[in-house]
Amino acid sequence: MNVTVPMPNLSLVVPEILMVILACGLLLVDLFIPKDRKRVVGYIALAGVVVVGVVTAAFWGKMAQPATTFSGTFVLDRFALFFKEVFLFTTGITILISLKYLEIEKVSLGEYYALMLFCTLGMMIMVSGADLIVIYLGIETMALSVYVLAGFMKFDHKCTEAALKYFLLGVFISGILLYGITLIYAATGSTQLAQVAAVIKEKGLAKNPLLVLAMFMLAAGLGLEIAMAPFHFWAPDVYEGAPTPITAFISVAPKAAAFAALVRIFYHGIQLLEPQWQILLWIICAVTMTIGNVTALMQQNVKRMLAYSSVAHAGYILLGVLAANQVGVQGIAFYFFAYAFMNMGAFGLVIYLRRENIVGDDIDDFKGLAQTHPLLAVIMVVFLLSLAGIPPTAGFVGKFLLFAAAIKAGFYWLVALAALNSVVALFYYFRIAKAMYMQSPEPLPQLSPGRGLVLALVVVGVFTLFFGIYPQPLMSLAKDTAHTFMMFLS
Amino acid sequence: MMVLILAVVLIPLLGATINGLFCWFTKRKAHIIAVPAIAIPAIVSLILLARVLQGERFDQVLYWWIPLGDFRVPIGFLLDELSAIMITTVTFVATWIHVYSIGYMDHETPRGYAKYFCYLNLFVFFMLTLCLANNFLLMFVGWEGVGLCSYLLIGYWYEKASAANAGMKAFVVNRIGDFGFMIGLFLIYKHLGTLLFSQAFASAEQLSVGVATLITLLLFTGATGKSAQIPLYVWLPDAMEGPTPVSSLIHAATMVTAGVYMVARTHALFNMAPLSMEVVASIGAATALMAATMALVNNDLKRILAYSTVSQLGYMFVGVGVGVYAAGIFHLFTHAFFKGLMFLTAGSVMHALHGELNLQKMGGLIKKMPITGWTFVVGALAIAGIPPLAGFWSKDEILAGAFMGGHRIIWAVGTFTAFLTAFYMFRLIFLTFFGEPREKHLYDHAHESPPVMTIPLIVLAVGSAVVGLLALAPHGGIVGFLNRTLGEAHEAAGHEGGLTYILMVISVAMGVAGVVLAYFMYMKRMPDPVAMARNFRPVYTLLYNKYYVDEIYFAFIVNPVVGGSRYALWKFVDVIIIDGAVNGVGRLCRLVGGGLRYIQTGFIPDYAWMILVGAVVIYWIGRLF
């Protein structure tokens, strides 16, 4: 019997193909580079990421209409493109802030960069997945690389412990996710999002308890990377233990990828299951932001504090998912760029403070920074303002969009709670500012940042301010993203 | 034109940024950045003014900040006759204040010096934003910004408790006004659906009189805070705790004029609300009189000037309140020159006398510091309304407007205040610069200030002397020019009628009478001021203690609030509830964490359990609904 397999349209996966070539090539190149010059691998990776970024951006104009390939399991639309750019941007910044850090930690190895690219590849697949299986493959590609990266300082006890925790919990949640996918298949006979949605609609399965449970399991599976309550327990430990550039990376990119997948899955299927999942998500949203902010209040370790703050931010972004309207998608898209700027920036500062014997992640390490390094203190204040959502920063604009979306969808109480939470957040963010400006510095060895780090800080700092004062370019991109995405649904 | 406007607004910001970020580098050289950062916009403002004179006008949205459906926040600028006059005044006076500061602040630490100039630039930037905004929100940004900068600059010597407190007082009192202002803005957006001036004023006539009255009264509440009117004027006299050039900047160019400008800018709304206009004019007149009386007996050089500012601002509000907006702005314009001048001369005196401010310890200084002394006399003649100096023209314009508009009582109050003004100003002059030195020691050490300080004095003195003559320029002079945008609520009957001349003569006579009386009292001792104070002790005490307004505020507002916060909020809500909750959550977390450590299996299974339990609980709660 002759089975003809249609040749998939490979032009849509060019960025992914390039990424695979780049990552594998990097592993090969690595063999020929002497141990003390591994920085070069980083440069190559960075150049490659920029190239892939440009290639991906070139698709933007053509993708006014979504296109699918691999029998409808892989979709390329502006939504996917936008998020791919978020990942690539984050990866680029992470490479920049890693270069010197790895040398200080004496783990400057070529695999690091290759793993990071594989991770990015996983996320790029994830956000393009139109089929639950593809999404799952993406998640695993990403997660396996991240586990290794989180434990990259293999001689550091805390670091390996963090990686192991991350791995075990990841596996646990992975099981739940897969179980959710099987339940969906059992109920609808398909794993393709569009077909699942069609079957639900056709057979009137909207109130089917099996489906509601399955959806909840999917949310749980993605909830781990999102770090939403109650799936956030790993975050503080891992954020604290992992190498700081990886912490910065984990706090932004995988979260963005998981959110993108969540939006894709839930906007498809869930429109139909609306009342059931709205309540679930409402509770999760409220609990996530409250737990994140309240627990962050008491942290003395800045990495841990930022971990809880990233939980809280997940809560704010859930407002956009919950709103389930175009402004919501626009808000999520915008927010992830803003969040990438400010969070990478804040972690970058922690790396900046890394010296011999000092990790730079204790609040006391920030003491008197305004006197010793005034510019650094100012730029940190910009990130803190943005994280707290105060104009004129990108963080404010993003938060405004999310809140506006939720208001539009009628979630007044939740937005009120989010606003109250923002006030709480202001308190702990400004503990850092207080340490920088109101306390006297302690005698410390000279800081010697790498040039890459300085460049990265300048870039994200300028973007944080620029898109706060003039958000329009990014907003209109996010708006196009949201517009085509919603069009695709109907 | 857009480029020029952006240059005016952004160059001061650039200057502030450079001195702010690189204060460790610019240090003593900060003025090399800061002075051109204001001087260039001053020149550009003149160019813009010239173009506006030729009839050009600019109103354009640069871009929309956060465009979202029908809610769009515009970032845009408006340049018309009103804002052109404003920015020219602000940048011109501010430039000379910057120059003067180079000499005045030379004792500061290098970093403090750079920081000072950074704040000064920033102050001007926010004021220019306020004046050039073409919508309420951007105006509000400037409005809040000048509030912030005034706080920073008044409390510049924050190690001194009185300076830190004065900064705080300015900020808090302004916040009270801003609260009203904000609600006014909300109402405007609610009823008119736009934040743009052009749209809002065009549709202002849709507003019912009630709503218009409410909105304008709320806006005016904001103005009373910024422009130091009853009941929120109390911060301004304390604001002289800051460096003297800052007082000069606050009193002349930036900050206090914001309220008057705002009322003039929103005149379309005020025209809809006659009651509000009445309130504005009455408050203005009352403030003018009250502040003038407080200045009569004070012995503190800068405080007298501060009360005179409050009083003069009262005049401006009388002007805008009776509907002669252009006259109010004209007075703002002339006042910027002579009040800026007088504060700078006061600073020069302080500089010479090592910070001494008590009039009773001065005397005869004109021999030691002739430039300072004579320029001050020019300023005082201007404020006293002696022709042909600046103050005469603008004050006369306001009083004539009030009289013609039928506000006879307000006119009488204003005219009487003119007499008081002349009196207290010349009391100050005779006590400070003439007569015999009363403190030999201080007098011997006094010296004229360096040229970097005296040149600005001379420039501003010339300005104070001549800018009033702009009233005589063709096409109705400056008032006619301003009226191209402001229009008058009701046409004041020109300047032809014999009545105008009678009014003019009366007000000049009042000014001269004040000067003469001061001369006899303080130079000839007849009647002897000490005896006067003794004979009218209750009145004197009341005035000397500033009507006890500060004390009343403390007794009835500040203390109850502080007490309430201390006992109800701090001791109870904060300590017991919030701290309790925070500590409780902390203890709970530690408890949970501690409890988990007892489980031998380690952390990960615990996490897994918590995830499961959490998920099931959430799922179960979700199913309940």
DSSP assignment string, B306-330: HHHHHHHHHHHHHHHHTT-HHHHHH
Q: Is B100 exposed, middle or buried (0-12, 13-18, 19+ CB in 10 A)?
A: buried
Query: Which residue intervals of B227-300 are DSSP H helices?
Result: 235-238, 244-248, 257-265, 267-271, 274-297
Q: Which of residues 22-61 of A touch B (CB under 8 A)?
A: none
Q: Is the same domain home to B351 and B496?
A: yes
Identify whether B65 is part of a domain. Answer: yes
Q: How close, in Å, is residue A373 to chain B by CA atoms?
A: 10
Could you tell me how many residues make up chain A?
Answer: 490
> Tokens in use for A29?
């190149």
Please give the average per-residue pLDDT across B522-546, as a whole number.
75
A172 in contact with chain B, both atoms CB, cutoff 8 A: yes
Burial A103-141 (b: 16+ CB within 10 A, else e): eebebbbbbbbbbbbbbbbbbbbbbbbbbbebbbbbbbb
Residue at A116: amino acid letter: M
> Tokens in use for B604?
């990960």
Please give the average per-residue pLDDT across B85-90, as a whole number.
91
Identify whether B553 is part of a domain. Answer: no
Q: Is the same domain home to B339 and B477?
A: yes
Identify whether B313 is part of a domain. Answer: no
Q: Is the same domain home to B376 and B504?
A: yes
Residue among A279, A470, A472 minimizing CB distance to B622? A279
A16 in Cβ contact with A52 (< 8 Å): no
Is the pLDDT confidence value at A398 over 90? yes
Is the pLDDT confidence value at B593 over 50? no
User: What is the pLDDT confidence band of residue B580, given thresholds at 50, 70 and 90?
Assistant: low
Residue among B21, B585, B614 minimizing CB distance to A229? B614
A173 in contact with chain B, both atoms CB, cutoff 8 A: yes
> Tokens in use for B44?
């550009």
Please give the average per-residue pLDDT across A371-397, as a whole number.
90
Q: Is the same domain home to B2 and B37?
A: yes
Rounded CA-CA distance A74/A146 in Å is 23
Highest mean pLDDT among B365-369, B498-502, B590-594: B365-369
Q: Give the chain B residue nearest A299 (alpha carbons).
A: B586
Please give the average per-residue pLDDT across A135-146, as a whole number.
94
Is the pLDDT confidence value at B390 over 80? yes
Burial B577-606 (b: 16+ CB within 10 A, else e): eeeeeeeeeeeeeeeeeeebeeeeeebbeb
Q: Give the chain A residue nearest B18 (alpha carbons).
A: A375
Q: How close, in Å, is residue A470 to chain B by CA atoms?
A: 6
Residues 6+ away with beta carbon under 8 Å from A328: A319, A320, A321, A322, A402, A405, A406, A409, A482
B616 in contact with chain A, both atoms CB, cutoff 8 A: no
A462 in contact with chain B, both atoms CB, cutoff 8 A: no
Place of tokens 């301004």: B236
Q: Is B290 exposed, middle or buried (0-12, 13-18, 19+ CB in 10 A)?
A: buried
Task: Please give the full DSSP string across B487-528, using - where no structure is assigned.
Answer: --SS----S-SHHHHHHHHHHHHHHHHHHHHHHHHHHS-SS-
Q: State chain A's mean pLDDT as an integer.
A: 88
Rounded CA-CA distance B378/B465 in Å is 7
Query: What pLDDT score does A490 carry?
Result: 59
Query: A143 to each of A129, A138, A140, A163, B288, how far by Cα in Å?
Result: 16, 8, 5, 11, 73
Please give the average per-residue pLDDT across B17-46, as a whole number.
85
Q: Is B36 exposed, middle or buried (0-12, 13-18, 19+ CB in 10 A)?
A: middle
Contacts of B24 in chain A (CB under 8 A): 374
Identify whether B46 is part of a domain. Answer: yes
Rounded CA-CA distance B11/B356 in Å is 36
CB-CB neighbours of B99 under 10 Å: 22
pLDDT in tens, B155-210: 888 878 888 888 888 888 888 888 899 999 999 988 888 888 888 888 888 888 88
3-state secondary structure of B536: coil
Contacts of B65 in chain A (CB under 8 A): 469-472
Contacts of B625 in chain A (CB under 8 A): 279
Number of domains in chain B: 3
Q: Is the same domain home to B534 and B575?
A: no
Q: What is the largest CA-CA distance in chain A?
A: 81
Q: Per-domain residue ranges for chain A?
A: 10-489
Domain closes at, from B496, B525, B540: B540
Residue at B574: amino acid letter: D
Query: What pLDDT score does B518 carry?
Result: 85
Rounded CA-CA distance B95/B76 in Å is 25
Q: Is the same domain home to B431 and B512?
A: yes
* Contact: B615, A216; criterion CB under 8 Å: yes
Place of tokens 């805390």: A158
Contacts of A164 in chain B (CB under 8 A): 604
- Whether the bond into A34 is cis, omega within 30 of 0: no
Q: Is the same domain home to B494 and B597?
A: no
User: What is the pLDDT confidence band of residue B571, given thresholds at 50, 70 and 90?
Assistant: low
User: What is the pLDDT confidence band of residue B490, given thresholds at 50, 70 and 90?
Assistant: very low
Contacts of A234 in chain B (CB under 8 A): 607
> Tokens in use for B16?
């502030």
Identify whether B526 is part of a domain. Answer: yes
Residue at B1: amino acid letter: M
Contacts of A470 in chain B (CB under 8 A): 63, 65
Residues 6+ away with beta carbon under 8 Å from B425: B308, B380, B383, B384, B514, B518
Q: Give the chain B residue nearest A476 (alpha carbons).
A: B67
The 8-class DSSP code of residue B361 comes to G
A149 in Cβ contact with A112 (< 8 Å): yes
End-to-end CA distance of chain B: 61
A165 in contact with chain B, both atoms CB, cutoff 8 A: yes
User: What is the pLDDT confidence band of residue B597, given thresholds at 50, 70 and 90?
Assistant: very low
Its pTM stands at 0.86
pLDDT in tens, A169-179: 899 889 999 99
* Contact: A233, B71; criterion CB under 8 Å: no
Is the pLDDT confidence value at B574 over 90? no
Determine the structural domain holding residue B55 and report its residue range.
1-134
Q: Is the same domain home to B533 and B610?
A: no
Q: Is the same domain home to B512 and B613?
A: no
B419 in Cβ contact with B511 (< 8 Å): yes
Identify whether B276 is part of a domain. Answer: no
Backbone region of residue B355 per phi and psi (left: phi > 0; alpha: psi in -120 to 50; beta: other values): left
A284 in contact with chain B, both atoms CB, cutoff 8 A: yes
Q: Is the same domain home to B384 and B449?
A: yes
Please give the average per-residue pLDDT across A288-317, as a whole number.
88
Is the pLDDT confidence value at B132 over 70? yes
Instruction: Round the CA-based radius of gyration of chain A to a whole number and report it.
Output: 22
User: What is the pLDDT confidence band of residue A246, given thresholds at 50, 70 and 90?
Assistant: very high
Query: B401 to each of A157, B224, B389, B394, B476, how far by Cα in Å?
Result: 83, 22, 19, 11, 15
B433 in Cβ contact with B348 (< 8 Å): no
Query: B113 to each of A440, B23, B34, B316, how far by Cα in Å?
Result: 21, 9, 11, 34
Instruction: Round the CA-based radius of gyration of chain B to a whole number and report it.
Output: 27
Please give the average per-residue pLDDT across B283-312, as a whole number.
89
Q: Is the same domain home to B335 and B377?
A: yes
pLDDT in tens, B440-455: 777 777 888 888 888 9
Q: How close, in Å, is residue B604 to chain A by CA atoms?
A: 6
Q: Is the same domain home to B18 and B116?
A: yes
Share of chain A above pLDDT 70, in %: 97
User: What is the pLDDT confidence band of residue A274, given thresholds at 50, 70 and 90?
Assistant: low
Query: A280 to each of A230, A288, A390, how far by Cα in Å?
Result: 12, 12, 30
Burial A246-276 (b: 16+ CB within 10 A, else e): bbbbbbbbbbbbbbbbbbbbbbbbbbbbeeb
Q: Looking at per-residue confidence, does B596 or B184 come out higher?
A: B184
User: What is the pLDDT confidence band of residue A78, given thresholds at 50, 70 and 90?
Assistant: very high
Please give the average per-residue pLDDT across A481-488, as a whole number.
85
pLDDT in tens, A188-229: 888 988 888 888 888 877 778 888 888 888 888 899 889 887
Contacts of B613 in chain A (CB under 8 A): 230
Q: State chain B's mean pLDDT as an integer.
A: 83
Q: Give the chain B residue nearest A375 (alpha carbons).
A: B21
Identify whether B219 is part of a domain. Answer: no
Residues 6+ away with beta carbon under 8 Å from B387: B393, B508
Query: What pLDDT score does A343 carry?
Result: 94
Q: Please list the residues that pair with B63 across neighbouring strands.
A: B75
Q: Among A250, A272, A297, which Cα is nearest to A198's? A: A272
* Contact: B66, A400; criterion CB under 8 Å: yes
The secondary structure of A320-345, three-state, reads: HHHHCCHHHHHHHHHHHHHHHHHHHH
CB-CB neighbours of B65 under 10 Å: 23
Identify whether B10 is part of a domain. Answer: yes
A172, A270, A304: which to substitute to probe chain B, counting the most B Cβ within 10 Å?
A172
pLDDT in tens, B461-474: 998 888 888 888 77
Query: What pLDDT score does A48 carry?
Result: 95
Backbone region of residue A411 per phi and psi (left: phi > 0; alpha: psi in -120 to 50; beta: other values): beta
User: What is the pLDDT confidence band of residue B600, given thresholds at 50, 70 and 90?
Assistant: very low
